Structure 1
């Protein structure tokens, strides 16, 4: 088993990976759901990893969004310990913990960054309220975590998701988020968001959507996969199980 790098070194490395990237060469962050998958991605040469809450939840036997905080942070810690590359963690909206405690739990787990989303229970938080929350997390982190602000405008019943995502992204960047994640934004909107925002844009890559290089060419500087890689791996295991059963 590898020995995890120092968290302070990890966040510096993670920040550096977001900078100076050419169009079409985004930072691609696979989403490991356990220590074994993390080691496979790291051994393949990926420079950093991004845990998905959906994938981790499934690996622990929970539905997406129903993982207890202690189990999620423990899973992140196991992944961090398994690799030497920086790991950023999807922790949904922080499990109701106060900002200072969120930071403590992430640092205890060895994470170099985190995703924090702006909806909970199917409802989006008011943008100003979410910006205040993000600002409190950033202040508590004191530079020790890279905060990626997930924007759920494309997942909810928002009349103009592009305009809403742009407004939220600007507020969240002012609050200290170093990356914004308009999850589910189509390629055309990624182009607009990347052009209009100074903050790096994280795009979601899906099996039936644009490839990472296409998203990068559109302006996305960071690519993640949500629970998609875990779903693909599970499908492979399902096929193997059928083969073993002779069906």
Structure 2
């Protein structure tokens, strides 16, 4: 298998070479499928993982997330980043410890967000910056490049204020974050405003929430990384729900359709780590 250091260097290089897609598996099988398709790096989805355990987002512990990360890191040869929520604690020390544990789990990147866990409430920008700075300091002590992403959650779990989101991202940039992320931006122009207001790589979540924008258009405005969050997991569960309801209700089998079969097995094989 490829070493963690080599994965880290490959992940770092992706952030320096234009716009790339960072899809989000939720288990070993989905990780290998995505690797088999040809993606160059992967990232966990907190919501996708939580729902696979039978709970909703923000209801899993740090120990659960780290165990999950170890599983996914060993599933493929690809670099793996992780959604580390708010660092699983309110203090800067909590964020630093989460980064240390993330590296020990095999991850080469991870995000820290500024959502407190209370509906609609973000950390004060000063404390939020301190939390990112502590995570950066922990990252500096690692023996390989770890891409630390700092998230401004205004449009997801706080007040959807673009000016405040940009101010937060600029503060996290000053604190030393490697990548910046404000999930849920509403328009392509909002995304452009974020990109032109900072000088670090910017991640977006499937483009603006106002519509589907091709990756090429996002790259044109300067986006460096595009993630999908829980979308793939939700689509998979949605297909299962639809099929199960049809079977439970009318008892028909229209859901059978075009099952992946051999294609699925082929992708799993392609995504399996190489020996050596």
TM-score (norm 1): 0.90
Gaps of 5+ in 1: none
Matched, 1:131 2:132: no
Distance 2:201 2:7 in 1: 19
Matched, 1:148 2:141: no
Distance 2:216 2:243 in 1: 31
Q: Which residue of 1 aligns with 2:177?
A: 177
Equivalences for residues 78-227 of structure 1 within 5 A: 78-96=71-89, 98-121=94-117, 122=119, 123-142=121-140, 144=144, 145-156=146-157, 158=159, 161-186=161-186, 187-205=188-206, 209-227=212-230
Q: Which residue of 1 aligns with 2:10?
A: 13
- Say what the alpha-carbon RMSD is for the aligned residues: 1.9
Q: Deviations over 1:7-44 (max 9, x none)?
A: 222221111001131xxxx2101100011100000011
Distance 1:164 1:13 in 2: 33
Does the residue aligned with 1:115 lie in a helix, a strand or coil?
Answer: strand
Matched, 1:64 2:57: yes
Distance 1:8 1:99 in 2: 22
Gaps of 5+ in 2: 253-276
TM-score (norm 2): 0.81
Larger radius of gyration: 2
Does the residue aligned with 1:119 lie in a helix, a strand or coil?
Answer: coil
Q: Deviations over 1:76-117 (max 9, x none)?
A: 110110010100000101112623421221012100100111
Distance 2:132 2:215 in 1: 27
Does the residue aligned with 1:84 lie in a helix, a strand or coil?
Answer: coil
* Preserved CA contact (<8 Å) 2:206 2:226: yes
